[in-house]
Amino acid sequence: MVKTKLYIVLLFLSISAFGCAALMQMNMFPVDKDIELGKQFDGEIRGNTKEYPILKNRPEVKAYITNIGNKILASPDIVYRNQFAYQFEVIQDDETINAFCTPGGYVYVYTGLLKYLENEATLAGIIAHEIAHAERRHATNQITAQYGVQAVLELASGHIGETGTQIANVAAGLGFLKYSRTDEFEADAYSFKYLRATEYYPGAICYFFQKSSDGRQSSALETFFSTHPPANDRLANVTQMLKDVGNPKPTEANLFAKRYQQFKKGLP
């Protein structure tokens, strides 16, 4: 059962779409279930210290990430600011360059990612992308589209019945661990929108796309590449968004590279 539950967590964190595009528009799942599920998964993650070793005793690291997250959450385009939990945690794993978010707003960032990035605005872009997955309710959308309301209710109730088990088995068997391409592009577009309301350069995630394209062979980026569309496609989209808003210029005043390098020095 523990294994089954873990697969379900993985499934929710990263789901691929093979469902009908029209169906994906509907989310018959009530918002308060996103909140319940998030709480449940957050508990699972915290309880699984082997898979998710949460950074302990370094409140300043968590505070730094939380501060960035809160700036993003202040954007007028955030809908569930008051309903979702919106918590930010760091997973101490230098071998993984990634971040993820459960339904209901529990955001996790790996130390591997923090060490990989060069400026604060890029980290903000990635955190905003994760927040967008929660805000747009991509996980429950996908589950609803693919497996129906019953499956989601089962998962939310914590009683994994026939449908829930079926989902878990499919997830485990196929190893499909990603959102749809459409959801990923939407998360990038919303991330851009959120960032425009902050002090950050909204196109900073492009630095990550560029750097990760150069490092394709890196095993630390394996999960990232298997769960996201090609960086070049995402780069092209964000470049277009920058053009649409008059090509703002990246400077130290909106990238915060110095402040970030200082922060990196203090990482365990």
Which CB atom, from 130 or from 154, has the smaller least distance to Zn ion?
Answer: 130
Q: Please state the closest distance from residue 248 (CB atom) to Zn ion, in A.
A: 23
**Amino acid, single-letter form, for residue 104:** G
Q: Please state the closest distance from residue 234 (CB atom) to Zn ion, in A.
A: 10
Q: Please state the closest distance from residue 179 (CB atom) to Zn ion, in A.
A: 6
Q: With CB under 5 A as the contact rule, which of the stretches 76-84, 137-145, 177-185, 192-200 interacts with Zn ion?
A: 177-185
Which CB atom, from 7 or from 224, has the smaller least distance to Zn ion?
Answer: 224
Q: Please state the closest distance from residue 113 (CB atom) to Zn ion, in A.
A: 13
Which CB atom, from 139 or from 257, has the smaller least distance to Zn ion?
Answer: 139
Q: How many residues bind Zn ion (CB under 5 A)?
A: 2
Which CB atom, from 15 or from 155, has the smaller least distance to Zn ion?
Answer: 15
**Amino acid, single-letter form, for residue 101:** C
What distance in Å separates the CA atoms of residue 135 and residue 224, rounded to the nearest whole number? 21
235, 75, 122, 257: CA torsion to nearest 10: 140
Q: Please state the closest distance from residue 199 (CB atom) to Zn ion, in A.
A: 23
Which CB atom, from 226 or from 262, has the smaller least distance to Zn ion?
Answer: 226
Sign of the C-alpha dihedral computed for residues 19, 101, 182 and 94 taken in this order = negative
Q: Please state the closest distance from residue 266 (CB atom) to Zn ion, in A.
A: 27
Q: With CB under 5 A as the contact rule, which of the stretches 40-48, 82-90, 185-193, 238-246 interacts with Zn ion?
A: 185-193
The secondary structure of 231-260, three-state, reads HHHHHHHHHHHHHHCCCCCCCHHHHCHHHH
Whether residue 251 contacts residue 119, with contact meaning beta carbons closer than 8 Å, is answered with no
What distance in Å separates the CA atoms of residue 158 and residue 44, rounded to the nearest whole number? 11
Which CB atom, from 21 or from 63, has the smaller least distance to Zn ion?
Answer: 21
Q: With CB under 5 A as the contact rule, which of the stretches 83-91, 102-110, 112-120, 187-195 interacts with Zn ion?
A: 187-195
What distance in Å separates the CA atoms of residue 41 and residue 29, rounded to the nearest whole number? 17
Q: With CB under 5 A as the contact rule, which of the stretches 17-25, 32-40, 179-187, 215-223 interacts with Zn ion?
A: 179-187
Sheet strands (E) in the chain: 87-91, 99-101, 106-110
Which CB atom, from 16 or from 119, has the smaller least distance to Zn ion?
Answer: 16
The residue among 139, 143, 58, 116 whose CA lies nearest residue 264 is 116
Q: With CB under 5 A as the contact rule, which of the stretches 81-89, 108-116, 186-194, 248-256 interacts with Zn ion?
A: 186-194
DSSP class of 108: E
In the beta sheet, which residues pair with residue 106?
87
Task: Enumerate binding residues for Zn ion (CB under 5 A).
Answer: 184, 187
